[in-house]
C-alpha cells in the first residue's frame, strides 16, 4: 500500500533526501519495463511480471496538521518470468528507503535515471492507517518532512 502526501512539493526532494540520510535503511535498484504484454521488474536476481490488484484511491483530509493523504491500497502480485518482449520501454529506478527507529512503516523516495521523482509512505497491504498505533508511526515520518 502506498500513501502519497497530497500536494507535496517534489522539487525539494534533493534537499529532503540529504536531510533524511540518518534514517536511510537501504536502496534498491531495478529496471522497470513496459511492454504490450505488461509491466516487468528486472533486478540482479530475477525477472518478475507485475499483475495489478486494483483498489480505489481515497483521500484523508488533514490526517495530521495540514497533511492530507492520498491512499492507494492497490498492489502488484509478482510472477516469475523468463521472457520479456523486445518491444518495451525501459526505466531505471532506484528506491531509497528511510525508516525511523521503532516504526514499521517506510518513507520511500524514488529516483528515475538519477533524478528524484516521487515520495510516498509504504505500509504492508491491508494496513488500517486509521489505527492509533499505525497513525502514530505515519505521523513520525510526516514530522521528518518539515
Residue 69: phi and psi, rounded to 5, are -115, 140
Other beta carbons within 10 angstroms of residue 83's beta carbon come to 9
Helix (H) or strand (E) holding 136: helix 132-144
Residue extents of the structural domains in the chain: 2-144
CA-based nearest residue to 145, from 12, 2, 1: 12
- pTM equals 0.90
By percentage, how much of the chain surpasses pLDDT 70?
100
CATH pick for 2-144 out of 3.40.50, 2.40.320, 3.30.420, 1.10.3470 = 2.40.320
- Whether 41 has a pLDDT exceeding 90, the answer reads yes
pLDDT of 87-131, one tens digit each? Answer: 999 999 999 999 988 888 999 999 998 899 999 999 998 899 889
Cell numbers found for residue 64: 495530521
Amino acid at each position: 500500500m502506498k500513501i502519497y502526501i497530497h500536494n507535496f512539493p517534489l522539487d525539494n526532494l534533493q534537499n529532503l533526501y540529504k536531510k533524511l540520510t540518518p534514517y536511510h535503511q537501504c536502496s534498491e535498484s531495478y529496471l522497470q519495463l513496459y511492454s504490450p504484454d505488461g509491466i516487468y521488474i528486472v533486478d540482479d536476481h530475477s525477472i518478475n511480471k507485475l499483475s495489478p490488484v486494483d483498489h480505489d484511491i481515497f483521500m484523508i483530509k488533514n490526517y495530521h496538521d495540514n497533511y492530507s493523504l492520498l491512499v492507494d491500497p492497490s498492489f502488484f502480485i509478482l510472477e516469475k518470468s523468463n521472457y520479456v518482449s523486445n518491444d518495451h520501454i525501459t526505466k531505471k529506478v532506484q528506491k531509497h528507503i528511510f525508516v525511523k527507529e521503532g516504526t514499521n512503516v517506510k518513507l520511500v523516495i524514488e529516483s528515475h535515471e538519477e533524478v528524484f521523482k516521487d515520495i510516498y509512505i509504504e505500509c504492508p497491504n491491508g494496513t488500517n492507517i486509521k489505527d492509533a498505533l499505525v497513525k502514530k508511526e505515519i505521523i513520525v515520518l510526516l514530522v521528518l518532512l518539515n
